[in-house]
Structure 1
Amino acid sequence: MTNKKKKLNILFITDVIPHNKNEYRGKYILDQISAVNKVVCGSMCLLLITPFFKKHKFITGLDHSISANLKHLKILSFPRYYFMRLRSFIFILLNFRLINNIIKERKINIIHCHNYSLSGLAYHLSKLFNVPYYITIHGREDPSVIENTKRKIKNIRLFLNEAEKVVSVGDVLKKYLKNFDVADNQIKVIPNGISYDWIIRKENRINIGSKNKNYKNLISVSELRIEKGINYTIKALYELKNKFNIILNYNIVGDGPEIKILKNMAHKLNIENQIKFLGSKNNLEVLKELDKNDIFILPSWFESFGIAHAEAMARGLIVIGCRGEGNEAFITNEKTGFLIKKHSSNAITDILLKILDNKYNLKEIEGNAVKVIKNNFTWEQSAGKLISLYNEAVYEE
């Protein structure tokens, strides 16, 4: 007798999604859930679970299919992952009727949790309702937060190893998960992706390319945090101006805790007229900004995948990232982009000098970049891999 696959009725659990179209934080989670929701044969519910004492933000700009199935609940929160089991028990007790109704009425047969913080909740719901659960890990945690007590390590190990599968968004994270004794066959690498709408059409790429690029217009798109390495790019612009008399334009899209530091740095180095801080922008605005520029540079570390790099490649830009990060999944040095040393303004200066000196066939690199993203790294492809993974656990005789 052949196995007949059931409909997939999925309960997604996350502690973060973007609150508006200009917010980057958690966008990759929402994009993946939306992609799965579009193609899955079944239903879904999204639990957004945030701390009791965190100020509530009104969420705007969601697709109706997501907003109609969104439940925003509060959880007792302790810093640095303390009392993960206790807070899960309390949460289930306080919300049992609602969760029970969701799971029973919607016939939930998959629980999918995003990130470490709610992994204990997914574990206990799985045990209580006999539903398999998956955990997607999107990043590496600060060791001082997650690895500083034996009890926390023990809990994280339990929650990860009891999952049906642990989904890693890149090989970098797969290596990191070995810190928690997660076996290779327990981990499934399913990369993040980008919207297919971002991929530039061949005729448009020709039109943009015909504008006689001089490769003097740089852009970054990210939250402005220290690990994004934007300060190194600013320093490289200073070096290019003062040592080589080369003036480049740098557009910075995004906002965050480092913005004042970066603006002060540009002012002190006397290159503020070369740099524009454009603030946060929505998807369409980001796309338009990318198309105005020639080179995307984000020398970031702790980069589990690098969606911003992939989006820029899809628009036909020359992309620069760092070696040893998640973007190595799609940036092959000197073939689809450039990989440089981390924490080094000199490395940025060197690669920009080589690009400006026509050391590479840049048109070929741009074409290769678009092709590799189109063929391998869209949200539709990511969703298809996830659904195949779910189907391994959910079937009936």
Structure 2
Amino acid sequence: DKNKNVNTTIKICEELRNQGINTKLFVVGDGKLLNKLKLQSKNKNYIEFKGKANKEELKKLYDESDIFIMPSQFETFGLVYVEAMTRGLPIIYTRGQGIDQYFEDGVVGFPIAYNGYNEGVKSVKKIMLNYESISTNGLTNSKSFSWKLIANQYIDIYQ
């Protein structure tokens, strides 16, 4: 899905690697762009395309990860951010979209511009410096998102 902006996430990982920071990227999901992304990334052994994943596979991937990055162009709420937070992952998300309105910068992660890969690189570095605190904040704050609250957010959007 072009909206999920995987290209920016790939650029973030590439730049971090160029700066000597070891990264690995799991890309989850399928869609029209999957084959194109695989072709563009065929010589990049640090990128793994996982395809569509069920809940158990997602939990395992979250647990194998350190940071969740999804700078979507448009996002209503983004339940996946909360899912990542419940597994202790700091998040990088799009400024002005979805979950951005719920937290101050640096509490559970950082917002970036839609195509802001340089901003994404800086955000990853900030997270690395304060990982335990941001991870703990994410776990704690994820509990404030009940299904009722999430449902009400979607209702507000459609009204």
TM range (shorter): 0.7 to 0.9
Given that residues 332 and 339 in structure 1 are in contact (C-alpha distance below 8 angstroms), is that contact kept between their aligned partners in structure 2?
no
Give the aligned residue type for 1:379: W
Distance 1:287 1:329 in 2: 25
Distance apart, 1:369 and its partner CA? 1.6
Q: Which residue of 1 aligns with 2:29?
A: 254
Give the aligned residue type for 1:232: T
| Structure 1 stretches lacking a partner, 5+ long | 1-224, 387-397
CA shift digits 1:284-317 (9 cap, x unpaired): 2211211111111101121010111111011111
Which structure 2 residues correspond to residues 210-229 of structure 1 after superposition, within 5 A?
225-229=1-5
1:238 is the counterpart of 2:10: no
Give the aligned residue type for 1:368: N
Distance 2:98 2:41 in 1: 29
CA shift digits 1:135-167 (9 cap, x unpaired): xxxxxxxxxxxxxxxxxxxxxxxxxxxxxxxxx
Distance 1:240 1:337 in 2: 17
Q: Which residue of 1 aligns with 2:157?
A: none
What is the Cα-based RMSD across aligned positions, in Å? 1.9
Q: 324, 333, 342: which one pairs with 2:105?
A: 333
Distance apart, 1:255 and its partner CA? 0.8
Question: Residue 246 and residue 256 in structure 1: after superposition, are their counterparts in 2 closer, same or farther (change >3 A)?
Answer: same
Question: Residue 228 and residue 234 in structure 1: after superposition, are their counterparts in 2 closer, same or farther (change >3 A)?
Answer: same
Distance apart, 1:226 and its partner CA? 1.0
Question: Residue 287 and residue 330 in structure 1: after superposition, are their counterparts in 2 closer, same or farther (change >3 A)?
Answer: farther
Q: 55, 60, 63: which one pairs with 1:288?
A: 60
Please state whether the residue corresponding to 2:45 is helix, strand or coil: helix
Q: 367, 376, 397: which one pairs with 2:136?
A: 367
Question: Residue 368 and residue 247 in structure 1: after superposition, are their counterparts in 2 closer, same or farther (change >3 A)?
Answer: closer
Distance apart, 1:329 and its partner CA? 3.5
Length, aligned pairs only: 153
CA shift digits 1:199-255 (9 cap, x unpaired): xxxxxxxxxxxxxxxxxxxxxxxxxx111111011122222223x122301111111
Distance 2:80 2:23 in 1: 21
Q: 74, 78, 83: which one pairs with 1:306?
A: 78
Given that residues 236 and 346 in structure 1 are in contact (C-alpha distance below 8 angstroms), is that contact kept between their aligned partners in structure 2?
yes
Q: Percent identity, please.
A: 37
Q: TM-score scaled to structure 1, two decimals?
A: 0.36
Given that residues 109 and 127 in structure 2 are in contact (C-alpha distance below 8 angstroms), is that contact kept between their aligned partners in structure 1?
no
Q: Which residue of 2 aligns with 1:353?
A: 125
Q: Which residue of 2 aligns with 1:206?
A: none
Distance 2:107 2:122 in 1: 17
Question: Residue 355 and residue 365 in structure 1: after superposition, are their counterparts in 2 closer, same or farther (change >3 A)?
Answer: closer
Give the aligned residue type for 2:9: T
Give the aligned residue type for 1:289: L
Question: Residue 258 and residue 344 in structure 1: after superposition, are their counterparts in 2 closer, same or farther (change >3 A)?
Answer: same
Distance 2:139 2:76 in 1: 20
Given that residues 330 and 336 in structure 1 are in contact (C-alpha distance below 8 angstroms), is that contact kept between their aligned partners in structure 2?
no
Give the aligned residue type for 2:5: G
Structure 1 runs of 4+ aligned residues shifted over 6 Å read: none
Q: TM-score scaled to structure 2, two decimals?
A: 0.86
Please state whether the residue corresponding to 1:369 is helix, strand or coil: helix
Given that residues 321 and 338 in structure 1 are in contact (C-alpha distance below 8 angstroms), is that contact kept between their aligned partners in structure 2?
yes
Which structure 2 residues correspond to residues 53-92 of structure 1 after superposition, within 5 A?
none
Greater relative contact order (Cα 8 A, min sep 6): structure 1 or 2? 2
Distance 2:100 2:137 in 1: 14
1:379 is the counterpart of 2:150: no
Given that residues 323 and 340 in structure 1 are in contact (C-alpha distance below 8 angstroms), is that contact kept between their aligned partners in structure 2?
yes
Q: 257, 260, 266: which one pairs with 2:41?
A: 266
Distance 1:333 1:227 in 2: 23
Which structure 2 residues correspond to residues 102-141 of structure 1 after superposition, within 5 A?
none
